[in-house]
Structure 1
Amino acid sequence: MIPLVEFCINNLTPDVLEIKNKLEQDPGIDVLEYGCLGNCGICAQGPYAMVNGEVITANSGEELLQKIYQAMDEMEVRY
């Protein structure tokens, strides 16, 4: 199963945009960007993304990238 990582356009700060662009370079990951993912409270607090429908939050862009990869690894084990 190819992991799906979704980003909210309103949360694309420069560091989150850099993460999105990096993930898009990996053909083993589907990356989508939406106008809104409906998580406005989370979105206003800091960097976040959704990995296969699971909300992933972080304090920085670098931490978000690490957590995205960790979530993908954990989900791969479950499938």
Structure 2
Amino acid sequence: MTEIKFCENNFTFGTEETMKKLKENYSNADVSVEPCLGYCGDCAVGPYALVNDEMIQADTADELYEKIKDMI
């Protein structure tokens, strides 16, 4: 099962919507939100998530969704 983690502090980049779409469309993935993932420098500059503990970054939340979708 693919594990996807989002930082709630990164929601300012639209990643909350990315998370919701992943939960709706990929029930086989374990999608969760954490208070902090410890990547504060990266978190402050753009959308990201951890997919199976690998950091995935993108310029937009939609691009992040597409990258994660390809990994599931």
Q: With structure 1 as the length reference, what TM-score do the two structures score?
A: 0.83
Unpaired runs of at least 5, structure 1:
73-79
Shift, 1:32, TM fit: 0.7
Match of 2:14, SS?
A: helix
1:2-22 deviation line (CA, Å, top 9, x unaligned):
101100000013621111011
Partner residue, 1:24: 23
Please, what is the CA RMSD of the aligned residues?
Answer: 1.2
Q: Take 1:4 and 1:50, find their aligned partners in 2: how far apart are those partners?
A: 8
Q: How many positions carry a matched residue from both structures?
A: 71
Q: Which runs of structure 1 show a deviation greater than 3 angstroms over 4 or more consecutive aligned residues?
A: none
Identity of counterpart residues, as a percentage? 42
Tell me if structure 1 keeps the 8 A contact 2:5–2:31: yes
Q: With structure 2 as the length reference, what TM-score do the two structures score?
A: 0.90
Change (3 A) 1:28 1:22: same
Change (3 A) 1:14 1:40: closer
Structure of greater Rg: 1
Partner residue, 1:41: 41
Unpaired runs of at least 5, structure 2:
none
Amino acid at match of 2:57: T
Match of 1:6, SS?
A: strand
